[in-house]
Copies of this chain bind each other. A is one copy, B any other.
Amino acid sequence: MKTLQQISLMLNGRLSGNPEVCIQGVNSLELAGVEEIAFLAKRDVDPAAFRAAALIVARDNPIDYPNLIYVDEPYLAFAQLLEDFYPATPFCAGVDDRARVSADARLGKNVRLGAFVYVGAGAVIGDDTEIHSGSVVYPGATIGRSCLIYAHVVIREGVVVGDHCIIHAGAVIGSDGFGFSRDSAGIPRKIPQKGRVTIADHCEIGANTCIDRSTLGETRLEEHVKLDNLVQVGHNCRIGSGTTISALTGISGSVDVGRNVVMGGQVGIADHLRIADGVMIAGKTGVSGHIKKRCVISGSPHMEARDWRRMHALLRNLDDYYARIRELEKRIAELEEK
Protein backbone atom coordinates (compact mmCIF):
# COMPACT_ATOMS: atom_id res chain seq x y z
CA MET A 1 0.00 0.00 0.00
CA LYS A 2 1.27 3.44 -0.95
CA THR A 3 -0.13 6.95 -1.09
CA LEU A 4 -0.41 8.75 -4.40
CA GLN A 5 2.23 11.13 -3.09
CA GLN A 6 4.67 8.29 -2.61
CA ILE A 7 3.88 6.80 -6.01
CA SER A 8 4.28 10.12 -7.75
CA LEU A 9 7.67 10.62 -6.15
CA MET A 10 8.78 7.14 -7.10
CA LEU A 11 7.77 7.67 -10.72
CA ASN A 12 9.29 11.10 -10.86
CA GLY A 13 5.83 12.32 -11.87
CA ARG A 14 3.62 15.34 -11.29
CA LEU A 15 0.57 14.72 -9.14
CA SER A 16 -2.81 16.31 -9.73
CA GLY A 17 -5.41 15.45 -7.08
CA ASN A 18 -5.34 14.19 -3.55
CA PRO A 19 -1.84 13.11 -2.45
CA GLU A 20 -3.25 11.23 0.58
CA VAL A 21 -5.24 8.70 -1.43
CA CYS A 22 -4.14 5.15 -0.59
CA ILE A 23 -3.43 2.77 -3.47
CA GLN A 24 -3.77 -0.96 -2.78
CA GLY A 25 -2.81 -2.32 -6.16
CA VAL A 26 -2.13 -1.87 -9.84
CA ASN A 27 -4.50 -3.02 -12.54
CA SER A 28 -5.53 -2.62 -16.15
CA LEU A 29 -7.78 0.28 -16.99
CA GLU A 30 -10.81 -1.94 -17.51
CA LEU A 31 -10.39 -3.95 -14.32
CA ALA A 32 -8.99 -1.41 -11.85
CA GLY A 33 -11.15 -0.98 -8.76
CA VAL A 34 -11.62 2.05 -6.56
CA GLU A 35 -8.44 1.44 -4.58
CA GLU A 36 -6.22 0.67 -7.55
CA ILE A 37 -4.14 2.67 -9.98
CA ALA A 38 -4.09 2.11 -13.74
CA PHE A 39 -2.40 3.69 -16.70
CA LEU A 40 -4.04 5.33 -19.65
CA ALA A 41 -2.32 4.98 -23.02
CA LYS A 42 -4.87 6.70 -25.22
CA ARG A 43 -6.38 10.13 -25.44
CA ASP A 44 -9.99 10.92 -26.24
CA VAL A 45 -11.44 8.40 -23.85
CA ASP A 46 -14.39 8.87 -21.58
CA PRO A 47 -13.13 8.78 -17.99
CA ALA A 48 -16.66 8.07 -16.72
CA ALA A 49 -16.14 4.40 -17.58
CA PHE A 50 -13.24 3.97 -15.17
CA ARG A 51 -13.30 3.23 -11.47
CA ALA A 52 -9.57 3.47 -10.72
CA ALA A 53 -8.53 5.65 -7.82
CA ALA A 54 -5.91 7.30 -10.00
CA LEU A 55 -4.50 7.18 -13.50
CA ILE A 56 -0.97 7.45 -14.82
CA VAL A 57 -0.97 9.54 -17.98
CA ALA A 58 1.42 11.25 -20.36
CA ARG A 59 2.30 14.80 -19.37
CA ASP A 60 0.32 16.30 -22.23
CA ASN A 61 -2.78 14.13 -21.94
CA PRO A 62 -5.75 16.50 -21.55
CA ILE A 63 -7.96 14.02 -19.67
CA ASP A 64 -10.02 15.27 -16.75
CA TYR A 65 -9.93 12.84 -13.79
CA PRO A 66 -9.89 13.24 -10.01
CA ASN A 67 -6.40 11.87 -9.42
CA LEU A 68 -3.70 11.87 -12.07
CA ILE A 69 0.04 11.31 -12.11
CA TYR A 70 1.70 12.82 -15.14
CA VAL A 71 4.86 11.05 -16.34
CA ASP A 72 6.99 10.94 -19.48
CA GLU A 73 6.39 7.31 -20.35
CA PRO A 74 3.16 6.02 -18.79
CA TYR A 75 3.59 2.37 -19.85
CA LEU A 76 7.07 2.17 -18.36
CA ALA A 77 5.88 3.89 -15.20
CA PHE A 78 3.17 1.25 -15.02
CA ALA A 79 5.83 -1.46 -15.42
CA GLN A 80 7.78 0.08 -12.56
CA LEU A 81 4.69 0.10 -10.36
CA LEU A 82 3.93 -3.54 -11.16
CA GLU A 83 7.38 -4.55 -9.96
CA ASP A 84 7.06 -2.37 -6.89
CA PHE A 85 3.62 -3.57 -5.83
CA TYR A 86 4.18 -7.23 -6.71
CA PRO A 87 7.89 -7.88 -6.18
CA ALA A 88 9.22 -11.28 -7.18
CA THR A 89 10.18 -13.30 -4.15
CA PRO A 90 13.57 -15.01 -4.39
CA PHE A 91 13.18 -18.66 -5.34
CA CYS A 92 15.76 -19.72 -2.81
CA ALA A 93 18.14 -18.23 -0.28
CA GLY A 94 21.72 -19.20 -0.95
CA VAL A 95 22.79 -22.48 -2.43
CA ASP A 96 20.37 -25.34 -1.78
CA ASP A 97 22.10 -28.33 -0.22
CA ARG A 98 20.69 -30.47 -3.01
CA ALA A 99 22.34 -28.40 -5.70
CA ARG A 100 25.60 -29.82 -6.98
CA VAL A 101 28.41 -27.38 -7.64
CA SER A 102 31.67 -28.75 -9.03
CA ALA A 103 34.66 -28.07 -6.85
CA ASP A 104 36.34 -25.73 -9.27
CA ALA A 105 33.26 -23.74 -10.32
CA ARG A 106 33.32 -20.11 -9.18
CA LEU A 107 30.21 -18.58 -7.60
CA GLY A 108 29.95 -14.83 -6.99
CA LYS A 109 28.46 -13.19 -3.94
CA ASN A 110 24.81 -13.83 -3.15
CA VAL A 111 24.40 -16.49 -5.83
CA ARG A 112 21.24 -18.48 -5.21
CA LEU A 113 20.90 -22.00 -6.57
CA GLY A 114 17.76 -24.13 -6.27
CA ALA A 115 17.61 -27.81 -5.52
CA PHE A 116 18.99 -30.14 -8.21
CA VAL A 117 20.88 -27.39 -9.98
CA TYR A 118 24.11 -28.66 -11.51
CA VAL A 119 27.10 -26.39 -12.06
CA GLY A 120 29.97 -28.00 -13.96
CA ALA A 121 33.71 -27.71 -13.60
CA GLY A 122 35.18 -24.34 -14.39
CA ALA A 123 31.79 -22.64 -14.71
CA VAL A 124 31.54 -19.06 -13.43
CA ILE A 125 28.38 -17.48 -12.03
CA GLY A 126 28.31 -13.77 -11.26
CA ASP A 127 27.10 -11.96 -8.14
CA ASP A 128 23.39 -11.88 -7.32
CA THR A 129 22.44 -14.38 -9.99
CA GLU A 130 19.62 -16.81 -9.17
CA ILE A 131 19.25 -20.20 -10.83
CA HIS A 132 16.14 -22.27 -10.23
CA SER A 133 15.64 -25.97 -9.67
CA GLY A 134 17.02 -28.43 -12.11
CA SER A 135 18.95 -26.05 -14.33
CA VAL A 136 22.22 -27.34 -15.70
CA VAL A 137 25.26 -25.14 -16.24
CA TYR A 138 27.78 -27.16 -18.24
CA PRO A 139 31.49 -27.08 -17.55
CA GLY A 140 33.18 -23.89 -18.62
CA ALA A 141 30.01 -21.84 -19.09
CA THR A 142 29.96 -18.28 -17.78
CA ILE A 143 26.92 -16.45 -16.45
CA GLY A 144 27.05 -12.79 -15.52
CA ARG A 145 25.74 -10.81 -12.60
CA SER A 146 22.09 -10.32 -11.55
CA CYS A 147 20.74 -12.92 -13.95
CA LEU A 148 17.51 -14.81 -13.37
CA ILE A 149 17.61 -18.35 -14.73
CA TYR A 150 14.33 -20.22 -14.33
CA ALA A 151 13.94 -23.96 -13.84
CA HIS A 152 15.32 -26.56 -16.27
CA VAL A 153 17.42 -24.22 -18.32
CA VAL A 154 20.39 -25.87 -20.01
CA ILE A 155 23.50 -23.81 -20.62
CA ARG A 156 26.01 -25.80 -22.60
CA GLU A 157 29.80 -25.75 -22.29
CA GLY A 158 31.56 -22.54 -23.20
CA VAL A 159 28.40 -20.44 -23.44
CA VAL A 160 28.76 -16.88 -22.16
CA VAL A 161 25.72 -15.08 -20.72
CA GLY A 162 26.05 -11.40 -19.84
CA ASP A 163 24.67 -9.44 -16.88
CA HIS A 164 21.00 -8.81 -16.08
CA CYS A 165 19.74 -11.54 -18.38
CA ILE A 166 16.53 -13.51 -17.85
CA ILE A 167 16.30 -17.03 -19.22
CA HIS A 168 12.95 -18.77 -18.98
CA ALA A 169 12.29 -22.37 -18.12
CA GLY A 170 13.38 -25.09 -20.47
CA ALA A 171 15.50 -22.89 -22.74
CA VAL A 172 18.56 -24.57 -24.22
CA ILE A 173 21.54 -22.34 -24.89
CA GLY A 174 24.40 -23.76 -26.89
CA SER A 175 22.91 -26.92 -28.40
CA ASP A 176 24.78 -28.20 -31.44
CA GLY A 177 24.11 -26.43 -34.73
CA PHE A 178 22.35 -28.56 -37.32
CA GLY A 179 25.30 -29.32 -39.56
CA PHE A 180 25.64 -32.43 -41.67
CA SER A 181 27.40 -33.33 -44.87
CA ARG A 182 26.45 -36.37 -46.91
CA ASP A 183 29.27 -38.75 -47.65
CA SER A 184 29.81 -40.50 -50.97
CA ALA A 185 27.19 -43.08 -49.97
CA GLY A 186 24.65 -40.33 -49.28
CA ILE A 187 24.69 -40.81 -45.52
CA PRO A 188 24.50 -37.56 -43.52
CA ARG A 189 27.61 -37.20 -41.35
CA LYS A 190 27.79 -34.80 -38.44
CA ILE A 191 29.88 -31.66 -38.67
CA PRO A 192 31.07 -31.13 -35.09
CA GLN A 193 29.89 -27.86 -33.59
CA LYS A 194 32.82 -26.50 -31.64
CA GLY A 195 31.95 -22.82 -31.32
CA ARG A 196 29.92 -21.14 -28.61
CA VAL A 197 26.98 -18.85 -27.88
CA THR A 198 27.54 -15.37 -26.49
CA ILE A 199 24.62 -13.47 -25.02
CA ALA A 200 25.20 -9.83 -24.14
CA ASP A 201 23.69 -7.95 -21.19
CA HIS A 202 19.96 -7.38 -20.65
CA CYS A 203 18.76 -10.14 -22.94
CA GLU A 204 15.66 -12.21 -22.24
CA ILE A 205 15.23 -15.73 -23.63
CA GLY A 206 11.80 -17.40 -23.69
CA ALA A 207 10.70 -20.75 -22.38
CA ASN A 208 11.85 -23.80 -24.38
CA THR A 209 13.69 -21.56 -26.84
CA CYS A 210 16.86 -22.99 -28.41
CA ILE A 211 19.99 -21.14 -29.45
CA ASP A 212 22.54 -23.25 -31.27
CA ARG A 213 26.27 -22.94 -30.80
CA SER A 214 28.30 -22.13 -33.89
CA THR A 215 30.45 -24.56 -35.81
CA LEU A 216 33.41 -22.30 -35.07
CA GLY A 217 33.41 -18.78 -33.64
CA GLU A 218 30.16 -17.75 -32.03
CA THR A 219 26.42 -17.38 -32.28
CA ARG A 220 25.79 -13.93 -30.81
CA LEU A 221 22.91 -12.05 -29.24
CA GLU A 222 23.68 -8.41 -28.64
CA GLU A 223 22.32 -6.28 -25.81
CA HIS A 224 18.60 -6.08 -25.08
CA VAL A 225 17.61 -8.85 -27.46
CA LYS A 226 14.27 -10.36 -26.41
CA LEU A 227 13.26 -13.80 -27.61
CA ASP A 228 9.82 -15.22 -26.96
CA ASN A 229 9.09 -18.91 -26.25
CA LEU A 230 9.90 -21.76 -28.65
CA VAL A 231 12.16 -19.70 -30.88
CA GLN A 232 14.97 -21.36 -32.81
CA VAL A 233 18.20 -19.47 -33.47
CA GLY A 234 20.55 -21.39 -35.74
CA HIS A 235 24.31 -21.63 -35.52
CA ASN A 236 26.54 -18.72 -36.39
CA CYS A 237 23.70 -16.16 -36.28
CA ARG A 238 24.12 -12.66 -34.98
CA ILE A 239 21.05 -10.89 -33.56
CA GLY A 240 21.48 -7.12 -33.23
CA SER A 241 20.73 -5.16 -30.10
CA GLY A 242 17.15 -4.35 -29.18
CA THR A 243 15.68 -6.89 -31.60
CA THR A 244 12.53 -8.72 -30.44
CA ILE A 245 11.44 -12.06 -31.88
CA SER A 246 8.06 -13.66 -31.22
CA ALA A 247 7.23 -17.29 -30.56
CA LEU A 248 7.87 -20.19 -32.92
CA THR A 249 10.10 -18.15 -35.20
CA GLY A 250 12.97 -20.03 -36.77
CA ILE A 251 16.19 -18.38 -37.85
CA SER A 252 18.44 -20.60 -39.97
CA GLY A 253 22.19 -20.69 -39.75
CA SER A 254 24.52 -17.72 -40.33
CA VAL A 255 21.74 -15.14 -40.46
CA ASP A 256 22.73 -11.60 -39.54
CA VAL A 257 19.83 -9.69 -38.01
CA GLY A 258 20.22 -5.95 -37.47
CA ARG A 259 19.35 -3.77 -34.50
CA ASN A 260 15.81 -3.13 -33.32
CA VAL A 261 14.29 -5.55 -35.76
CA VAL A 262 10.79 -6.69 -34.74
CA MET A 263 9.63 -10.14 -35.77
CA GLY A 264 6.16 -11.57 -35.29
CA GLY A 265 5.51 -15.22 -34.52
CA GLN A 266 6.28 -18.19 -36.80
CA VAL A 267 8.58 -16.15 -39.01
CA GLY A 268 11.14 -18.21 -40.91
CA ILE A 269 14.42 -16.85 -42.24
CA ALA A 270 16.53 -18.83 -44.69
CA ASP A 271 20.22 -19.22 -44.04
CA HIS A 272 23.01 -16.73 -44.68
CA LEU A 273 20.64 -13.74 -45.03
CA ARG A 274 21.13 -10.21 -43.74
CA ILE A 275 18.25 -8.25 -42.23
CA ALA A 276 18.77 -4.49 -41.95
CA ASP A 277 18.26 -2.46 -38.79
CA GLY A 278 14.69 -1.63 -37.87
CA VAL A 279 12.99 -4.04 -40.26
CA MET A 280 9.54 -5.18 -39.15
CA ILE A 281 8.58 -8.72 -40.13
CA ALA A 282 4.94 -9.76 -39.83
CA GLY A 283 3.97 -13.10 -38.32
CA LYS A 284 4.39 -16.15 -40.61
CA THR A 285 6.62 -14.30 -43.06
CA GLY A 286 9.07 -16.52 -44.93
CA VAL A 287 12.18 -14.49 -45.63
CA SER A 288 14.07 -15.84 -48.61
CA GLY A 289 16.43 -12.98 -49.49
CA HIS A 290 18.40 -10.15 -47.88
CA ILE A 291 16.36 -7.24 -46.52
CA LYS A 292 18.64 -4.34 -47.22
CA LYS A 293 16.72 -1.39 -45.82
CA ARG A 294 14.22 -0.59 -43.11
CA CYS A 295 10.75 -1.68 -44.24
CA VAL A 296 7.77 -3.80 -43.23
CA ILE A 297 7.61 -7.22 -44.85
CA SER A 298 5.05 -9.98 -44.97
CA GLY A 299 4.12 -13.13 -46.91
CA SER A 300 5.98 -16.21 -48.05
CA PRO A 301 7.90 -15.52 -50.22
CA HIS A 302 8.27 -12.20 -48.43
CA MET A 303 7.45 -8.86 -49.99
CA GLU A 304 6.74 -5.40 -48.67
CA ALA A 305 3.66 -5.61 -46.49
CA ARG A 306 1.68 -3.13 -48.55
CA ASP A 307 2.38 -5.12 -51.73
CA TRP A 308 1.37 -8.27 -49.95
CA ARG A 309 -1.91 -6.77 -48.77
CA ARG A 310 -2.58 -5.39 -52.25
CA MET A 311 -1.81 -8.74 -53.86
CA HIS A 312 -4.22 -10.53 -51.57
CA ALA A 313 -6.90 -7.93 -52.27
CA LEU A 314 -6.39 -8.48 -56.00
CA LEU A 315 -6.58 -12.24 -55.57
CA ARG A 316 -10.10 -11.96 -54.24
CA ASN A 317 -11.14 -10.72 -57.68
CA LEU A 318 -9.51 -13.49 -59.64
CA ASP A 319 -12.75 -15.28 -60.30
CA ASP A 320 -14.40 -12.12 -61.52
CA TYR A 321 -11.56 -11.31 -63.88
CA TYR A 322 -11.48 -14.81 -65.29
CA ALA A 323 -15.19 -14.44 -66.05
CA ARG A 324 -14.50 -11.11 -67.72
CA ILE A 325 -11.81 -12.73 -69.89
CA ARG A 326 -14.25 -15.41 -70.98
CA GLU A 327 -16.84 -12.75 -71.69
CA LEU A 328 -14.30 -10.77 -73.72
CA GLU A 329 -13.47 -13.86 -75.74
CA LYS A 330 -17.14 -14.36 -76.53
CA ARG A 331 -17.64 -10.72 -77.53
CA ILE A 332 -14.53 -10.62 -79.67
CA ALA A 333 -15.52 -13.83 -81.40
CA GLU A 334 -18.86 -12.24 -82.25
CA LEU A 335 -17.12 -9.16 -83.61
CA GLU A 336 -14.73 -11.28 -85.64
CA GLU A 337 -17.65 -13.17 -87.21
CA LYS A 338 -19.19 -10.03 -88.50
Binding site for B on A (CB under 8 A): 26-28, 31, 72-73, 75-76, 78-79, 82-83, 86, 89, 91, 96, 98, 100, 114-116, 118, 120, 132-134, 136, 138-139, 150-152, 154, 156-157, 166, 168-170, 172, 175-176, 178, 180-184, 186-192, 194, 204, 206-208, 210, 212, 215-217, 224, 226, 228-230, 232, 234, 242, 244, 246-248, 250, 252, 260, 264-266, 268, 270, 283-284, 286, 300-301, 310-312, 314-319, 321-322, 324-325, 328-329, 331-332, 335-336
If A229-B232, A328-B325 touch, does A118 touch B116 (CB 8 Å cutoff)?
yes
**Minimal Cβ-Cβ distance residue in B for A75:** B181
7 closest residue pairs by CB, A with B = A175-B207, A154-B169, A232-B247, A118-B133, A136-B151, A172-B207, A210-B229
> What residues of chain B lie closer than 8 Å to A312, measured between beta carbons?
301
If A284-B300, A315-B318 touch, does A229 touch B212 (CB 8 Å cutoff)?
yes
If A100-B98, A118-B134 touch, does A150 touch B175 (CB 8 Å cutoff)?
yes
> What residues of chain B lie closer than 8 Å to A136, measured between beta carbons?
114, 132-134, 151-152, 169
> Does A178 lie within 8 Å of B228, measured CB to CB?
yes
**Minimal Cβ-Cβ distance residue in B for A83:** B192
* A78-B76 Cα distance, complex, nearest whole Å: 51
**Minimal Cβ-Cβ distance residue in B for A74:** B181
Q: Which of B86, B152, B310 contacts A194 (CB 8 A)?
A: B86
* A172-B153 Cα distance, complex, nearest whole Å: 11
> Does B178 lie within 8 Å of A229, measured CB to CB?
yes
**Minimal Cβ-Cβ distance residue in B for A140:** B89
A85 to chain B minimum Cβ distance, whole angstroms, is: 8
> Does B79 lie within 8 Å of A190, measured CB to CB?
yes
> What residues of chain B lie closer than 8 Å to A248, measured between beta carbons?
230, 232, 248, 250, 266, 268
* A196-B27 Cα distance, complex, nearest whole Å: 14
A235 to chain B minimum Cβ distance, whole angstroms, is: 11
* A76-B178 Cα distance, complex, nearest whole Å: 15
A98 to chain B minimum Cβ distance, whole angstroms, is: 6
- Residue picked from A72, A178, A268, A325, most chain B C-beta under 10 Å: A178
* A178-B322 Cα distance, complex, nearest whole Å: 43
> Does A169 lie within 8 Å of B156, measured CB to CB?
yes
**Minimal Cβ-Cβ distance residue in B for A317:** B322
> What residues of chain B lie closer than 8 Å to A226, measured between beta carbons?
178, 180, 188, 190
> What residues of chain B lie closer than 8 Å to A82, measured between beta carbons?
191-192, 194, 215-216
**Minimal Cβ-Cβ distance residue in B for A154:** B169
If A89-B139, A91-B139, A133-B118 touch, does A206 touch B216 (CB 8 Å cutoff)?
no
**Minimal Cβ-Cβ distance residue in B for A181:** B75
> What residues of chain B lie closer than 8 Å to A335, measured between beta carbons?
332, 335-336
* Besides A170-B170, A172-B207, A188-B224, 19 other A-B contacts (C-beta < 8 A): A27-B216, A73-B181, A82-B192, A152-B154, A168-B172, A175-B207, A175-B229, A178-B246, A186-B242, A187-B242, A207-B212, A208-B230, A210-B229, A210-B230, A248-B248, A250-B266, A266-B286, A283-B286, A325-B325
